[in-house]
Amino acid sequence: MSTAFTNFAARSANWTVLGLLAGLYAAQSVTGSMVQTALPVVLRDAGMPLDQIGYLAVLFLPWALKFLWAPFIDRFLTERTWILLCQLGIILCFLAAMALPPQTHMASLAIVLLVMGVFAATQDVATDSLAVRASDAETRGLASGASTAGAYLGFLIGGGLWLVVYQHAGWAVSMAAMAGFVCLLTVPVFLSGGLAGPRVKQAAAMQRIGLRRTMKNRALMTGLVFLVVYQVGIRMGSALTGPYLVDKGIALDTIGLLRGAGGALAGFVASSLGALVVQALGITRSIVLAAILNVLLLAALAAAEFAGSASPTFALVILLLQVGAVAVSFVALYAAMMNWCNPEQTATDFAALQSIDAILAISASAIAGMLGNAFGYGWLFAASAAFILAAIALASRTLGASARAARSFAIPEKVSEP
């Protein structure tokens, strides 16, 4: 393990890279978690109808559509410059939101949050690209682990801590606090020069950058087969955990604790351990191990539902364990996705993969709702486990072929960026 850390430090020029990636992913996830988890609570508490709260889903469009402008990150400027510009934009949006409490200025606030989402999604593209190019095949588990742990930390702050600040200090102070948090996480970016290798600047190579080239990436397209099957199972298994716990008679505050602070802490710890697992076992073995854990947990839930013995306590424990298993899964899978990216257009390739994953999440949630409504939770969990088992069966061929195809990529030697 010490050799892996030494190689990572040598590749990245200094030890700030792990903290940098964790901080950047925390900063961007603050925005998404606040809008997705915490803001609906505030709006409902203010008496807003549920159908109007549902319209908040449009604020996630930037994350689903970011692949459209990802080629610009590959073509122009450096990732560090893009990140700094986007961090500044997020901070300014939070400051602007101070004067727009949702109870009286919801329309204006929605516009500010949508702009903030564009900045956060663009920062995500640039950070993903930086993570890919600042690491290599041997150290991607560490980079992916730091990124995932940072995302869970941001979720804990944006989805949990923000509500506490809002409740005790009001809207304006809570927005200022979030601006200060993002500002604090911007400091490491100024210290991060020289983390990644050079961009390919030849005119011919720049003209080839785009989604058409992504479609010709054999490593990515082969790995995508596994990604689709596997993530459908994972997303289906997680889609209805909230309603499932409600139907088990568990109190809303307990569910909030589980899905908020408890889930974020479990994910943070599991993703940190997942980085070590990936470094020790390798990416493919780690993905399979995480997949097996998820199959066992989902199968246990399904069996308990079929037997009528799924007590509320049992459901809580299993689902909390699954949060950890999913976190380990994300670390290993994102490390594999990094390897599938062409070094000449890392932003474009990774953004395309994440956009596909977002579409899968939406589709799987819809399928889960229909399955659960028609056949019950037992069959839903069983179907989710079956998809993951199918992905395990595909792993040796798809992930192996992707790894072999990825070795053909020419990875440039690291030099400092301005």
Asked whether residue 80 is assigned to any structural domain, the reply reads: yes
pLDDT of residue 204: 47
pLDDT at 413: 42
| Cα gap 365→79, rounded to integer Å | 33
User: How many domains are contained in the chain?
Assistant: 1
pLDDT digits 0-9 by tens, 165-217: 887 888 899 889 888 888 887 776 776 565 555 555 554 455 567 778 888 87
Query: How many Å apart are CA 314 and CA 250, to the nearest integer?
Result: 12
Res 259: pLDDT? 63
Q: Is the pLDDT of residue 92 over 90?
A: yes
Across residues 21-31, what is the average pLDDT?
77
In a domain, residue 188? The reply is: yes
Residue 412 has what pLDDT? 45
In a domain, 416, yes or no: no
**Residue 268 has what pLDDT?**
79
Cβ(380)–Cβ(372) under 8 Å?
yes
Residue 417 in domain:
no
Q: What is the pTM of this model?
A: 0.71
pLDDT band of residue 94 (cuts 50, 70, 90) is: very high
pLDDT-based confidence at 85, cuts 50/70/90?
Answer: very high
Structure-token pair, residue 67: 């692949």
Residues 274-291 pLDDT 10s: 888 888 888 888 889 999
Q: What is the pLDDT of residue 311?
A: 85
% of the chain surpassing 70 pLDDT: 80
Question: Has residue 414 been placed in a domain?
Answer: no
Residue with tokens 């986007």: 86
Q: 204-258 pLDDT, tens per residue?
A: 455 567 778 888 878 888 888 888 899 889 888 887 776 777 777 777 566 666 6
CA distance 43 to 180: 23
pLDDT at 398 over 50: yes
Residue 411 lies in a domain: no
Output the pLDDT for position 408.
64
The enclosing domain of 91 has a CATH number of 1.20.1250.20
Domain that holds residue 142: 2-406
418 in a structural domain = no
Burial 136-149 (b: 16+ CB within 10 A, else e): bbebbbbbbbbbbb
38 inside domain? yes
- For the stretch 304-349, pLDDT in tens is 988 888 788 888 888 888 888 888 888 888 888 888 888 778 888 8
pLDDT the model gives residue 298:
92
Looking at every residue in the chain, the average pLDDT score rounds to 78
Q: How far apart are CA 360 and CA 409, in angstroms?
A: 27
Tell me, what's the pLDDT at 414? 42
Give the span between the Cα atoms of 388 and 143, in whole angstroms.
Answer: 25
Percent pLDDT > 90 in the chain is 11
**Residue range 75-101: average pLDDT?**
89
b/e per residue 223-254 (b: at least 16 CB within 10 A)? bbbbbbbbbbbbbbbbbbbbebbeebebeeee
